[in-house]
Structure 1
């Protein structure tokens, strides 16, 4: 399928103030597990003074955080490592230890609820939670199809069906690739 380049319309005159870079990487390990890594980096194009603490210089990271989640073929978390190299406030790093509570959680239905249960509100860090939310999608993209379990129960379609216009139960892609779920009704 040929890609179509559709740029954004020209922007109004403006000035860049903030950049957030988020990157996910998926790795297959030699021991049969997978590592999914997420990185978040926030920078400013101007000095940023944090009252009563310090001033960050242009390009100095406000947030520089990494998470490595180790999962098995069923996408169950076996291990989690966290680095908070750049944080705006000293207490921020206290959010690293509770991340271990995610071990045993499954990346799939209920993933976001598990994150909120274990790390929500003041139990964790909003930026680490943001990284974790989308790690499940990166994991799904990383694991080869032969390692992911595809449901054959017509009452339980694969979790990505019915979640976007492309995977509409009434759409041509589902009809072609998952005919057993074509025109499936969620119960």
Structure 2
């Protein structure tokens, strides 16, 4: 169901974030994010001169190259358009992300390294949807392939430790129905209730 009918209004600003995930032939994954900000009106800027309606105020790109465990192997960041010429000067600092893991603690680790004056607000914000795109790209495909291999071999997929999605949201809570059915060895709910549900 979409949002309700809005009040009469005037369109002022659009921020678009597009993220894409790619499997590389070398076994790694590229996760890319692209952010643009545009206004519906023209205005003058101090360093770029006149921006017409639809001209990007911001246009920025991020590529994280990660492995199957979502450890960052390489980072590429480009500030193509920004209000000030020096905005892109901070992009080399994003190399501080190499070696981090895009799982629990990612947001905190990013803010510790690139928060405030040590980064760019827009690029740091873009790392949030880039991280969730990494999850959506890597884990479902690897899981599906493991299931297909197990089915072909007549076995069950082997669990490799704690599921990355466990306790990441209310759907995957440790004491919830999904955990009980799909990750019984990690289920933290009442075992008596679980037995009764079966």
Q: TM-score range by the shorter chain?
A: 0.7 to 0.9
Counterpart for residue 96 of structure 2: 101
Whole-Å Cα distance in 1 between the matches of residues 167 and 14 of structure 2?
A: 32
Counterpart for residue 24 of structure 2: 29
With structure 1 as the length reference, what TM-score do the two structures score?
0.85
Contact 1:71/1:78 (CA < 8 Å) preserved in 2? yes
Say whether 1:179 aligns with 2:189: no
Structure 1 pair 62–52 and aligned structure 2 pair: CA distance change class (3 A): closer
Question: Superposition RMSD on alpha carbons, in Å?
Answer: 2.2
Whole-Å Cα distance in 2 between the matches of residues 84 and 29 of structure 1?
A: 24
Say whether 1:64 aligns with 2:69: no
Gaps of 5+ in 2: 147-157, 191-198
Say whether 1:77 aligns with 2:72: yes
* Higher helix proportion (structure 1 or 2): 2
Counterpart for residue 41 of structure 1: 36
With structure 2 as the length reference, what TM-score do the two structures score?
0.81
Match of 2:112, SS? helix
Whole-Å Cα distance in 2 between the matches of residues 49 and 115 of structure 1?
A: 33
Whole-Å Cα distance in 2 between the matches of residues 145 and 118 of structure 1?
A: 30
Counterpart for residue 2 of structure 2: 7
Counterpart for residue 20 of structure 1: 15
Aligned-pair CA distance for 1:54: 2.4
Contact 1:115/1:133 (CA < 8 Å) preserved in 2? no
Gaps of 5+ in 1: 1-5
Q: Which has the larger radius of gyration?
A: 2
Q: Number of aligned residue pairs: give it.
A: 176
Whole-Å Cα distance in 1 between the matches of residues 159 and 11 of structure 2?
A: 44
